[in-house]
Structure 1
């Protein structure tokens, strides 16, 4: 585990409890649980079994909430976000392997 200052800058550090994450996203804890069921996010479990969310996961959850608010069903929203994320990662990898022009 890194130093405390490193953790604050780490997008993947599970810093947020379910209640705080729901408050930030503007959703219910049940919505966050359903995102987990749909395999969009997989929060870390604390020693006591409580879910902990990272900033990266909160961004994904926020995007899902926006899409659902616009009428997209939850499963479809999660699948779209997963595919968008996979595409962005593939493009990043492609760019990093490209020789300098």
Structure 2
């Protein structure tokens, strides 16, 4: 599944974004993309992607390999969502 397909699935409610605990403050804006848990299971299958909680833009992410620089760049330069712009201002100060 590519990032465009994942974004469409998030918009349709077929996938969800779950909280990622980490040292970086970027995880307040991003979360791990996962399949929604069924009635018989409380666990969600995580995908190797993260999504911006504000605009749902998706990025490939593999823990301990990918890093968070490209996610921070999205907040600093690319997200057109007003909430991300506010986060950018608070990070800059």
TM-score by length of 2: 0.31
Higher strand share: 2
Higher helix share: 1
TM-score by length of 1: 0.30
Higher relative contact order (CA 8 A, sep 6+): 1
Computing the radius of gyration over CA atoms, which structure comes out larger, 1 or 2? 1
